[in-house]
Structure 1
Amino acid sequence: MIDPSALHHSSDRLEKGTYRIHWKEDVPLSKYIQDSFPLGNHSILSYDNSESFADVKKELKAVSLKKRLGITIRATSDIRNHLHFDRRNNYLEVYHYTSFLKEQLRVTRDVGDCSSPSSSLKRGVLPRQLVLEVLDSLQGTLFPLSDPRSKKLLRSLISKCSFDPDILNFEVSSVRRVGEESVPYVYLADRLADLYNELQTPRPRGWLQQSMQRKSGARHVMMATLVGVIFAVLLGIASLAVSSYQAWIAYQAWKHPVQPS
């Protein structure tokens, strides 16, 4: 689930962020995981008791991302790439193997502290907080199972993109401890915040929007002006066509006058 062989992949994939960290021989696995998933601290997403936490999560639903940003959802088998947003190609990578995530949580459900990479790796699992965040980002944020549109999208991804069918099965008592019903984001805070910022201030997608952004910061004013000019031109063409038709009718009436009976 974590591919350590990034050293031999193309520079293009590295540039896109598909593989962020090389696992060098002198680096322990615990340090490698820490580097692959640096801790973040977002003013809203890292605090599940904040007033805006639920509101921000609602905006980050996959159906909203697809509708408002035109994002394509892509499956990935590398958990490091979960929620990696490729702006150039406008796709979001999603790690979808919830059956694996749940099994990881079952292993540490009734044991002691498994929050740090070193303590969790001694038991052969990933940090519990990280696994909780990945699972909750799937079933609670991107694809909330209580939302019919999200479930419909999930079923489509299962049938067309080979998503893990287990993603439709929501489990609490068998995998979560008391107090883990709501999950703050620290490992995935920056990735989710990146998506949220894109929703608030989307980058221009088409050639026209990109050109206007390069030439002026007030691209919205330019867009409105351009639309107005285009509308005026079309209206002028329509008026000219009507006038030409009327002139042609008048000419025909003059050339072929109706003789009184």
Structure 2
Amino acid sequence: MATSQNRTEKSEIAKHIFDEDGDFPAFFRFFDYLLQQYNWPGLRRQGRLTYRGIGDAVSLLKSSSHVTNNEAIQKLNNNNGTAPPNPNALDDLNLAVNMMIMVDCDPQKSHTLGFTIADYSPKSWKPEETYLDFVKRSFPADPKPSKRVQWSIKAWKLKEKLGVEFRPTDDLDKHLLYDSKDPPCVYLFHQVGFLKAQLKKYNETEMPLDLSVDECLESLINPVVRGSPPVRLLYETIHSLQWLLFHRVDNKSDAVLKELIGEKGFDPECANYEGYRRLEGDGFTYTYWGERIRKLEAALAKPPPRTKLGRWLQSQTSERNALFIALLALFISIFVGLLSVILAAVQTWIAWMAWKYPVK
């Protein structure tokens, strides 16, 4: 059960991140779990991690997006000389980044070296890299943004035609990631409450969608949105969930969504279509998620085999194997043709011998 101090700390950090005091149950459920892991009794640390300490790191990153990882740790550790050194400065900083942009900037703690999913590999915040550059590297803009969404990607189609399993992720950089391995799955960033709270700040200040990452993190235009993820990224993510995959008038996809919320732990806000605006329809383009959407469309257009035998046969039909099989078929055809000629000649010879030397 949450203590009064814990509730106060959560309220303070919600104001830091969302500029409002709210419950955000799915958001804090995830971070309560992370704090539990960090504060596990088996770990040797001089003090427990708290939301108050993470809040100090959030304030630092909001005030300076050009601070490097090393500089941020040093500043948090020194506390500007006003308090004892903070032995948990690194962990406070990592969790602060996770809270602000929903990206794990220290994936070695949760993934093995060389961990990948399809063509995705988690990124670490490098020691001499600025926070701004890390955010840009975590969410690269698509070099070929989609001109128009074809609206062929529906949740029920992905499930029925590709047999995918939808998996919730709290890492925004894994959104719409398609892993075709057995069993195939699509990762969906389900923290819609986080997306709506961040978008609310942009909506209330009527900020344009085409703001750069620099303008969003530094926001010299309006300090209210300073430190927030890129507005375009937020809109694309919620648009892909509530307009593309789980459109409110798509009953079959709605049934899939209800199952995900009830059984897979998806944020219930996924099914609440209120609280945001400016989600264009046919004219909406994807700058961040265009490539992943195109991969899903390609998979739907040419579904991979669903059985192990089918996947094995497909693996044997590369261009090289196809050429080998074609040549083998040619040689077999020639062999069969020669054999037919020989058999015909033998039959002709037998018939001629029977005619020349009839049996009396």
TM-score calculated relative to the size of structure 1: 0.71
Q: What does residue 181 of structure 1 align with? A: 280
Give the SS at the match of 1:141.
helix
Contact 1:61 1:141 in 2 (8 A): yes
The question of 1:160 aligning with 2:254 is answered: no
> What is the deviation of 1:176?
2.8
**Any idea what the Cα deviations from partners look like across 1:176-231, whole Å, max 9, x if unmatched?**
34xx4233111000111111111122333433223322444699xx9xxxxxxxxx
> What is the deviation of 1:24?
0.5
User: For residues 215 and 97 of structure 1, what CA distance do their matches in structure 2 show?
Assistant: 41
Q: 1:111 to 1:29 in 2, by over 3 A?
A: farther
Rg larger in structure = 2
User: For residues 33 and 206 of structure 1, what CA distance do their matches in structure 2 show?
Assistant: 40
Contact 1:74 1:93 in 2 (8 A): yes
Counterpart of 1:93 in structure 2: which amino acid? Y
Q: What does residue 187 of structure 2 align with? A: 93
Give the SS at the match of 2:168.
strand
Q: What does residue 135 of structure 1 align with? A: 238
Give the SS at the match of 2:115.
helix
> What is the deviation of 1:61?
0.7
Deviates more, 1:157-166 or 1:110-119: 110-119
Q: What does residue 217 of structure 2 align with? A: 121
Contact 1:6 1:19 in 2 (8 A): no
Between the two proteins, the alignment pairs up a number of residues equal to 207
Equivalent of residue 126 in structure 2, options 11, 15, 24: 24
Structure 2 matches for 1:1-16, cutoff 5 A?
1-8=102-109, 9-11=111-113, 13-14=115-116, 16=118
TM-score calculated relative to the size of structure 2: 0.53
Contact 2:248 2:254 in 1 (8 A): yes
Counterpart of 1:120 in structure 2: which amino acid? C
RMSD: 2.4
Unaligned runs of 5+ in 2: 1-101, 219-225, 326-360
Unaligned runs of 5+ in 1: 223-261
User: For residues 176 and 153 of structure 1, what CA distance do their matches in structure 2 show?
Assistant: 24
Q: 1:39 to 1:157 in 2, by over 3 A?
A: same
Structure 2 matches for 1:43-82, cutoff 5 A?
46-48=146-148, 53=149, 56-57=150-151, 59-82=152-175
Q: What does residue 17 of structure 2 align with? A: none
Q: What does residue 196 of structure 1 align with? A: 297
Percent identical among aligned pairs is: 30
**Any idea what the Cα deviations from partners look like across 1:54-77, whole Å, max 9, x if unmatched?**
xx22x2111100100000000011
Give the SS at the match of 1:166.
helix
Give the SS at the match of 2:116.
helix
> What is the deviation of 1:47?
2.2
**Any idea what the Cα deviations from partners look like across 1:9-59, whole Å, max 9, x if unmatched?**
2136335556432211222222222212221154xx7224xxxx3xx22x2
User: For residues 187 and 117 of structure 2, what CA distance do their matches in structure 1 show?
Assistant: 15
Runs of 4 or more consecutive aligned structure 1 residues displaced over 6 Å after TM superposition: none
Q: 1:15 to 1:91 in 2, by over 3 A?
A: closer
User: For residues 62 and 213 of structure 1, what CA distance do their matches in structure 2 show?
Assistant: 25
Q: 1:15 to 1:169 in 2, by over 3 A?
A: closer
